[in-house]
């Protein structure tokens, strides 16, 4: 889709006022439940705890608050509990059980890094975020930032959608355009779009509704079965084109499903890209 087509659709886009009110109500409810200044004091069982529907992670994933991050693996939160109620960290085969005496320390490191990112956003030091190693997935980090800074980010956390929008509006002239840089991309896109007349009065929710409407209705290519055809490995082409079945991999990929960047890392390691 071209920029001119996006702008034409924007001129005719209508977003239900009731939807705006309800979504914003949910965001405010989250902020009241988890005030920004209280995050640094958060305990691990307030962050995530199996069976507890009143934790930070549960509200982020399952409450109907702005962009959805439902599904996939709990690894998106980096620290979580397994079925034995052990706290673990990491992803894929690098998942490790955290010794109980180290849980508080491990979580303190995680929450401090999240708070440091928040400080960068408060001070508009977006480029400094790349220097902070935050092990939660980008879509989780971005949803946190959208909730606390709706005046600086629009309501989309999907790396694929953000990268596509960035390419349409030629954001490579401002920052790096790839799935690892989606926080900065969202931030700079929001500023750039607000400078365009048709978007100048839009808020974060209207942007999210608009682009969700466009990309949710766009056609995706799905490939079923294996990835070898005429004795040729077609996986690279399938990855470029869309989504394909991985039933013929002789490995369990269930822990990798849920975020494109995790799968990309895996396929790269297997020389499949």
Please determine, for residue 273, whether its predicted confidence score (pLDDT) is greater than 90. Answer: no
Please determine, for residue 237, whether its predicted confidence score (pLDDT) is greater than 90. Answer: no
Strand pairing report for 232-233 and 242-244? unpaired
Please determine, for residue 247, whether its predicted confidence score (pLDDT) is greater than 90. Answer: no
* 226, 248 contact by CB (below 8 A): yes
Percent of the chain whose predicted confidence (pLDDT) is above 70: 79
125, 127, 130, 131 alpha-carbon torsion, rounded to 10°? -60
pTM of the predicted protein model:
0.79
Residues 6+ away with beta carbon under 8 Å from 266: 92, 253, 256
How large is the average pLDDT for residues 239-263? 53
Strand pairing report for 96-97 and 87-89? antiparallel
Q: In whole angstroms, what separates CA 245 from the centre of its chain? A: 23
107-131 residue pLDDT tens = 999 999 999 999 999 999 999 999 9
């Amino acid at each position: 889709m071209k920029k001119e087509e996006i702008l034409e659709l924007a001129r005719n886009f209508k977003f239900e006022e009731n939807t705006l009110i309800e979504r914003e109500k949910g965001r405010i409810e989250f902020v009241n439940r988890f005030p920004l200044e209280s995050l640094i004091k958060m305990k691990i069982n307030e962050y995530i705890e199996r069976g507890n529907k009143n934790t930070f992670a549960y509200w982020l994933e399952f409450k109907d608050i702005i962009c959805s991050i439902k599904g996939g693996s709990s690894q998106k939160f980096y620290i979580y509990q397994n079925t034995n109620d052990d706290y673990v960290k990491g992803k894929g085969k690098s998942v490790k059980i955290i010794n109980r005496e180290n849980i508080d320390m491990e979580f303190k490191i995680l929450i401090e890094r999240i708070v440091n990112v928040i400080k960068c956003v408060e001070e508009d030091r977006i480029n400094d975020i790349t220097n902070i190693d935050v092990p939660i997935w980008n879509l989780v980090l971005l949803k946190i930032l959208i909730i606390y800074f709706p005046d600086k980010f629009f309501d989309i956390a999907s790396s694929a959608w953000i990268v596509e929008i960035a390419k349409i509006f030629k954001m490579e002239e401002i920052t790096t355009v790839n799935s690892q840089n989606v926080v900065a991309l969202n931030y700079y896109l929001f500023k750039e779009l607000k400078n365009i007349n048709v978007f100048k009065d839009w808020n974060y929710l209207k942007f999210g509704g608009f682009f969700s409407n466009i990309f949710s209705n766009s056609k995706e290519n799905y490939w079923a079965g294996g990835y070898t055809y005429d004795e040729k490995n077609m996986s690279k082409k399938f990855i470029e084109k869309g989504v394909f079945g991985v039933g013929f991999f002789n490995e369990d990929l269930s822990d990798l499903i849920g975020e494109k960047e995790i799968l990309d890392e895996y396929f790269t390691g297997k020389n499949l890209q």
